Amino acid sequence: MTVAAYPEFFNDVFGPVMQPGSSSHFAGPCRLGLLAGDLLGEPPSRIRILLDERGSFAGTFGIMAEDRAMVGGVLGFQTDDERLFRASELAEEAGAEVSFEFTHLTESDHPNAVQFILTGRNGREAELVGNSTGGGMVETVTVNGFPLHTIGDTHALLVFDARKQIGEEQLAALVLELPELVASSAVEIDGRGVLRAYMLAVEPDLVALNGLLTTALPGVSVAVLKPLLPVISQLDRKPQLFDTMTRWREIAAREDLPLWEVAVRYEMDASGWPRAWIIDRMRLLAGLMRRQTRAAYEEDVVVPTSPFKPDFAGRWAEHAASGRAVSDGVTAQTIKWAYGAGSGIPGVTVVPGPMGGGAGYIYAAMSAVQDARGLDDDDLLRGLFVAAGIGAISYTRSAPTGEVTGCTGEAGTCGAMAAAAIVEMAGGSPEHVENAASLALQAFTGMPCDPMPGGLCQPCRSRILAATCMAHVFADLALAGHEAVLPLHEAIDVADKIGRSLPPELLCTSGGGACAAPAAQRCRVDFQQWFAESKPEERPPASLI
């Protein structure tokens, strides 16, 4: 029996590697566009994109480059492709007509739902509805009118049988051709026929399948949705090793292992990868995080700016050099690297956490402690595995994204991950690690997500800086014996319940909270005028975070 998917480190927590921007409003829409392009199976001549007028995408449309990400995905650009920022221009050059429409989507009530209606150069048509569920993760809702749920962790072979022509013998022959079948399903709709979906761990031979089915049966069409995620679902996936910090600590104590080693085992069970691959992957991500935090200071790059997004890293460097800085030590270094993490430099890829660039902010706090205490890169790597474990628990029990649980799910979860990682780096006990994460999350519970269009990245910037700059404080409190009272899983459950009780205008729709203030309304008017008059390529890749 195949074990159902559960959150793991390189799909859910630290992924996807992407160009700078929001993970749920940039990477997620790009990935949904990729799936829609796969479904079409040929270059598009027309791209219609429908957004729910009450949803988050409508509320922040264009601010986080959602429009370019959706179009770029359809054109086949991955999340780390710098061409995403020129997607509108490149679509026009390719002769593809693009339109966006704001309507009521009936297929999904998710705040990050989007519908793609595509026409190909050869006349083929495709329709896909999907949700960007947070952290760059996505799910399909319907394909060509048929319900289908997939998250992009397999090769999805879709066989559309409009006239119900495929017989049992042909189905048996088809299954024999399929390598490493993970799961399958079939759904029949009156007037549309049957969709058979096969989830595979390896890529099928589409040419052979077309020869087997579509040549002999003209009413049958085949599409393959390629995997979006680095970790592909396997037949022999093991059950989830832990979903609470309590269970994680119990395993560590019983087997006399450090927390980070148990975390590595968790990922081995989830991914099926050997230990060496997992260590190498985390080292790779750590290198990307390091560059993300330092490129603005150490490389010959241009930090993109606009009237609504200044060069924060440059301002901080000038302030620190002036001798007037009040902050010093770990706090000052965390601010420096955090501003670097959020610089949004095209070509400098970022690693999300629960938010776009989130791992860079977590790394900023960890790196500042590493420098202050003279720790080495292996110490930092161990901290990252502990942070990943905290993130996996959070994704298991909640939805760490602003559209569902407010900024607690994003900045708050980043702060908890960073605090736990710092305790691990400093040699604290598993109990200290859990207390630090719970204390940090409790401090940021109840935060809305209310990004102000044109509002100089506020209040997002304040919250992520507060979460990362306080991580070492909560680490110290835990190391000093301050108990959090709430086990981490209970703190997550509390934060989740409060976050889900927030009204829609406080869930990344830019409709309430700080956005309702008079000054914010003036910023919105100025921003909308600038946005309407500017070209897409003139806009910074991430105007908010």
Domain count, the chain: 2
- How far, in Å, are 241, 317, 374 from residue 335 at the CA level? 35, 10, 19
Q: How confident is the model at residue 216 (pLDDT cuts 50, 70, 90)?
A: low
In a domain, 232, yes or no: no
Percent of all residues in the chain with a pLDDT value above 70, rounded to a whole number: 97
Phi, psi values for residue 538, rounded to 5°: -85, -10
In a domain, 285, yes or no: yes
Pairing relation of β-strands 44-52 and 97-103? parallel
Whether residue 504 is predicted with pLDDT greater than 80 in this model: the reply is yes
| Same domain, residue pair 329 and 470 | yes
**DSSP element (H, E) containing 165:** none
537 pLDDT exceeds 80?
no
Are the C-beta atoms of residues 171 and 140 closer than 8 Å to each other?
no
Two tokens at 109?
A: 């009530």
Average pLDDT, the chain: 93
Establish if 12 belongs to a structural domain. Answer: no
| Overall average pLDDT of the 160-174 stretch | 87
Give the Å distances, CA to CA, from 10 to 23, 337, 359, 382, 383: 14, 23, 12, 15, 15
182 and 100 share one domain: yes
Based on the fold, state whether residues 49 and 194 are members of the same structural domain: yes
Average pLDDT for residues 413-433, to the nearest whole number? 98
Tens digit of pLDDT for each residue in 247-305? 999 999 999 999 999 999 999 999 999 999 999 999 999 999 999 999 999 999 999 88
pLDDT > 90 fraction of the chain, expressed in percent and rounded: 79
Last residue of one domain, picked from the residues 225, 256, 279: 225
The tally of CA atoms less than 13 A away on the side-chain side of residue 401 is 27
More confident residue, 178 or 395: 395
387 and 530 together in one domain: yes
Residue 195 has pLDDT above 70, yes or no: yes
Q: Of 225, 255, 280, which closes a domain? A: 225
pLDDT for position 1: 44
| Domain assignment of residue 218, yes or no | yes
Q: Are residues 312 and 358 in the same domain?
A: yes
240 lies in some domain = no
pLDDT at 214 > cutoff 90: no
Asked whether residue 545 carries a pLDDT value surpassing 60, the answer given is no
How do residues 448-494 score in pLDDT, each as one tens digit? 999 998 899 999 999 999 999 999 999 999 999 999 999 999 999 99
Give the end of a domain, one of 195, 225, 255.
Answer: 225
pTM: 0.93
**Domain of 294, in residue numbers:** 245-538
Determine the Cα–Cα distance for residues 53 and 109; give it in Å rounded to an integer.
Answer: 11
Same domain, 277 and 168: no
Residues 170 and 310 reside in one and the same domain: no
The CATH number for 123's domain is 3.30.1330.90
Q: CA separation (Å) from 377 to 262, 266, 409?
A: 19, 22, 28
Claim to verify: residue 364 and residue 421 sit in the same structural domain? yes
Tell me, yes or no, whether 5 lies in a domain: no
Same domain, 84 and 217: yes
Closest CA to 24 of 466, 273, 357: 357
The phi, psi pair for 448, rounded to 5°, reads: -80, 170
DSSP codes joined into one string, 115-132: EEEEEETTS-EEEEEEEE
Count other Cβ atoms within 10 Å, centred on residue 505. Answer: 16
User: Do 472 and 358 share a structural domain?
Assistant: yes
Residue 412 to residue 468: CA distance in whole angstroms: 9
Residues 485, 442: contact at Cβ < 8 Å? no
Confidence at residue 168, expressed as pLDDT on a 0 to 100 scale: 86
State residue 2's pLDDT score.
56
User: Are residue 186 and residue 139 in the same domain, yes or no?
Assistant: yes
Q: Is the domain of 333 the same as that of 477? A: yes
